[in-house]
Amino acid sequence: MTATMKAFRLTEWAKPPRLVEVPVPKPERGQILVKVGGAGLCHSDIGMMAMPEAAGRMAGWNMPFTLGHEVGGWVAEAGDGLKGVAPGDPVVLVSAYSCGHCQFCLSGHDNSCVETYAGRGYGRDGGLAEYVLVDSPRAVIKLTSLDPRDAGPLSDAGATAYHAVKRVLPKLTPGSTAAVIGAGGLGMFAIQFLRVMSPAKIIAVDQNPNRLALALASGAHEAVTGVDTFTSAAIKEHSGGIGAEAVLDFVGNDASLEQGLAAVRSVGSFALVGAGARSIAICGPISPRTVSCSPSRAARSATCVRSSRWSRPGWSRTRRNASRSARWRRPIAASTRASCGAVPWSRRTSGNKPAHLRERQVRASHCSKNHLDDCWAI
Ligand SMILES: [Zn+2]
Ligand SMILES: [Zn+2]
């Protein structure tokens, strides 16, 4: 008789999940069966419940599947041919799926894998169950001191915040300021990473006083209630009057984007992690400019800052010139689009520099994870 287990599964597109009884999977050669010790609940789990069938199928999802992509536990059974993995080993599972052999995986950018849109807990069976099957030992990290019941969220929420902090670290020299908008799960990770990895003064922004109190206890130096129309001014007040070297937005709605961008000092960095909105208009002296944002699964692999449009036809700022003294160039090609520094301008000629434009470099951590290392917009 086949053993069964409880699993929290999506059984229909755009419907709530159900707790059901399913067979315990049997590991085949090279696979690992993990007994789940703990699993994190993620905001993207909620998004998955509303996933339209067309979008899910486009991402390569199979219905039904078990939710849960932040998983820790113990090796229950190792398939044939595996070395270095034994029953009882405490492990945490790598959250994002990667194939291990595409050009991105081979270059160390596993999170940009061509197959990353379907993985354990998002399109395939995940860890909100008693057991979860792992198809490769490269998706298992053995733990030493961490309790696997607590480690699951580190593989996704923790890793995402860590990545954002790592991207802005070069800007955070002694005397600098870093603002974290949104002191929820990811933001609280970021505050702790910033505290141990940088000398920056850390400003936590949240509308919930309890979260702000926890942020201060977790390493933040200042707490700002927001986001509202005064938030950018409050951040600037705490950062020498000219803005923060880094603003990390873990909310990503129109208000946080607007206030967060306004709080970045020149040559500062803005990390967009939250996936609360799809677009924002950034109004400058010449024209409104639109930075499109298309959050996708878990926002981690989303391409968040895709393009900036300029109302003055023919003008675009090249990535190479992303500084206050940038020269402005007009591409011969009749395009007004500058996106992620990847637009293949074929020819350029020098042009007049509209000196009254205010420049701000924007870095989007998701874009950078998606190999758009230099994604920026003004
Ligand atoms: Zn997640
Ligand atoms: Zn790959």
| Residues 125-133, mean pLDDT to the nearest whole number | 97
The yes-or-no verdict on residue 104 having pLDDT over 50 is: yes
Is the peptide bond preceding residue 148 cis, with omega within 30 degrees of 0? no
The yes-or-no verdict on residue 297 having pLDDT over 60 is: no
In the prediction, which pLDDT does 320 show?
32
CA 45 from chain centre, in angstroms, equals 15
Q: Would you identify the CATH topology of the domain 4-155?
A: Quinone Oxidoreductase; Chain A, domain 1 (3.90.180)
Quickly count: other Cβ atoms within 10 Å of residue 367's Cβ: 27
pTM: 0.71
> What pLDDT, in 10s, does the model give residues 42-68?
888 988 988 999 999 999 999 999 999
In the prediction, which pLDDT does 280 show?
57
CA–CA gap between residue 68 and residue 257 (Å, rounded)? 29
Tokens of residue 142, six digits: 């053995």
CA of 282 to the centre of ligand 1 (A): 29
Q: How far is residue 197 from each of residues 144, 145, 165, 167, 225, measured CA to CA in Å? A: 22, 21, 9, 12, 25
Tokens of residue 226, six digits: 């927001």
Dihedral of CA atoms 284, 257, 308, 270 in degrees, nearest 10, equals 100
CA–CA gap between residue 18 and residue 16 (Å, rounded)? 7
Domain 164-369 class in CATH? alpha beta
Query: Residue ranges per domain, the chain?
Result: 4-155, 164-369
For the chain, the maximum distance between any two Cα atoms, rounded to a whole number of angstroms, is 78
Point out the ligand nearest to the CA of residue 44: 1
User: Near ion ligand 2, which residues have CB within 5 Å?
Assistant: 98-99, 102, 105, 113
| Residues 285-291, mean pLDDT to the nearest whole number | 37
> What pLDDT, in 10s, does the model give residues 184-210?
999 999 999 999 999 999 999 999 999
What percent of the chain shows pLDDT beyond 70? 73
In the prediction, which pLDDT does 92 show?
98
| Contact by Cβ (8 Å): 305, 361 | no
Point out the ligand nearest to the CA of residue 301: 1
The yes-or-no verdict on residue 306 having pLDDT over 80 is: no
CA of 156 to the centre of ligand 1 (A): 5
Point out the ligand nearest to the CA of residue 299: 1
Point out the ligand nearest to the CA of residue 41: 1
CA of 352 to the centre of ligand 2 (A): 44
> What pLDDT, in 10s, does the model give residues 222-247?
999 989 999 999 999 999 999 999 99
| Contact by Cβ (8 Å): 268, 262 | no
